[in-house]
Amino acid sequence: MGQRRAMTKQESDLRRQLGAARRVVVKIGSQALCQPDGRLDSRTVAGLCQDLNALIDQGRQVVLVSSGAVASGTGELGAQIVAQLELGKQALAAIGQPLLMARYRQEFAIAHRHVAQILLTHGDLADRSRFLHARRVMGELLAAGVVPIINENDTVAVEELKFGDNDQLAAQVAHVVEADALVLLTEVEGLFSANPHTDASARLLPWVGASDQVAVAAAQTATSAFGTGGMRSKVLAAQKAGAVGIVSAIGSGKSPQALLRLLNGEQVGTVFAPPARKLQGKRSWIATSVRGRGSLHLDNGAALAISGGGKSLLPAGVVQVTGHFEIGDAVDLLDPEGKVIAKGLVRYASADAASVCGLRSEQIVQLFGWLPAGELVHRDDLVVL
């Protein structure tokens, strides 16, 4: 692993970007952070915090997204008691989260630094004003030299409020704080061509181009005992961060100083190229932080026009509306095969959208007596996926 190999120009550019990143979001998963019985792995926690402190000493700002609450809760009580009491993940996270924070507080205190806990649900970032509040507060903490430590608020996160896993949360946090880089730490060295635990021919992929990420995500599955992510979700998180111009990497949370080395531009782990064009402003928020509450099924012509980019979706191009949504909610746009091709904020509530679908503007005026909106989804509120 320590050997230098020849790098392509793209890879060396990406690694240079990691080396130059000033504001960094680092995510570590339960599998890397905890022992099999759920208790925190002291060496990993200490090593991680040493690396983070070293990064801050270099003049960088770091935000840590840490899993491990559910695992720590299990470790604290013991698996047998957990089973007897029939405690669910939401309760275990409530027990484990303060243990996790106490540990981080201790580690950062060695370097005379303070930590801050931020617990989020998906709903927090899907609301534009809460998203902007979170951005302001995290910015304030970073400017004050405090290390924000973030986890999903598991205790109150019911299904529709969940991020899915902490990899997605980390990608969204990277967008919230306008990070230069996102590093996802796991229990293996990086992204492999196959599962390295079961396939001896598996090799480490040093970098993944923007156009390869969909295929790579589809190929990866494995999940872990306490975490919910697996490699697939890490590739998806890298893609999500890439859409808003953030460089991502997957590295080992176990190998000494792997994080530091990655962020010093060395040849470890896997780096992900963001696409050439990045989304800005409100559209970047739509791409990373909101979830479709319903779907608009497009006819072939509309699907082609939308995929081409730069076009609004008119009611005439929609054949069917599903789900329940209000004006301003996010919806998915589906092509005739049922594939999601875009996401956007809708200008009609679902019942009205259903009655205008397939109609031209004059027909909508006849129906309502006026034209509530010319577009179902305006191009300024639309992101092609």
Site string for ligand GLU, 225-264 (x = CB under 6 A): --xxx-----------------------------------
Shortest reach from residue 381's CB to ligand GLU, in Å: 29
User: Could you tell me the strand order of the sheet in which 294-298 lies?
Assistant: 318-323, 294-298, 330-334, 340-345, 382-384
* Cα–Cα nearest to 55, from 4, 15, 21: 21
Residue 68 makes CB contacts below 8 A (sequence gap 6+) with 28, 29, 30, 33, 34, 40, 96, 100, 151, 226
Q: Which is nearer to ligand GLU, 226 or 325 (CB)?
A: 226
Give the nearer residue to ligand GLU in terms of CB position, either 17 or 252: 252
Q: How far is the CB of 173 from ligand GLU (least distance, A)?
A: 13
Per-residue b/e over 320-337, b at no fewer than 16 CB within 10 Å?
ebeeebeeebbbbbbbee
Please say which residue, 104 or 348, places its beta carbon nearer to ligand GLU.
Answer: 104
Q: Which stretch binds ligand GLU (CB under 6 A): 14-22, 64-72, 79-87, 192-200?
A: 64-72
Residues 184, 190: Cα–Cα separation, whole Å: 9
Residue 38 touching ligand GLU (CB under 6 A): no
**316/358 Cα distance (integer angstroms):** 4
Cβ 172 to ligand GLU, closest distance in Å?
Answer: 13
Contact call for residue 152 and ligand GLU (CB under 6 A)? yes
Closest approach, Cβ 283 to ligand GLU, in A, equals 26
Nearest by Cα to 183 from 321, 92, 31, 62: 62
Q: Do the beta carbons of residue 368 and residue 348 sit within 8 Å? A: no
What is the torsional sign of CA 263, 264, 268, 274?
Answer: positive
Euclidean distance between CA atoms 258 and 32, whole angstroms: 13
If binding is defined by CB under 6 A, does position 99 make contact with ligand GLU?
A: no
By C-beta, is 18 or 100 nearer to ligand GLU? 100
Tell me the closest approach of the beta carbon of residue 371 to ligand GLU, in angstroms.
Answer: 45
> To the nearest whole angstrom, how small is the minimum distance from the Cβ of residue 164 to ligand GLU?
8
Closest CA relative to residue 50, chosen from 247, 257, 279: 257
Residue 349 CB neighbour total at 10 angstroms: 16
Q: Compute the least distance from the CB of residue 304 to ligand GLU, in Å.
A: 37
Does residue 48 bind ligand GLU (CB under 6 A)?
no
Give the whole-angstrom CA distance, residue 341 versus residue 353.
Answer: 19
Is 70 near ligand GLU (CB under 6 A)? yes
Member of 26, 40, 93, 334 binding ligand GLU (CB under 6 A): 93
11, 21, 30, 373: which one binds ligand GLU (CB under 6 A) = 30
Binding residues (CB under 6 A) for ligand GLU: these are 29-30, 67-71, 93, 151-152, 154, 165-166, 227-229
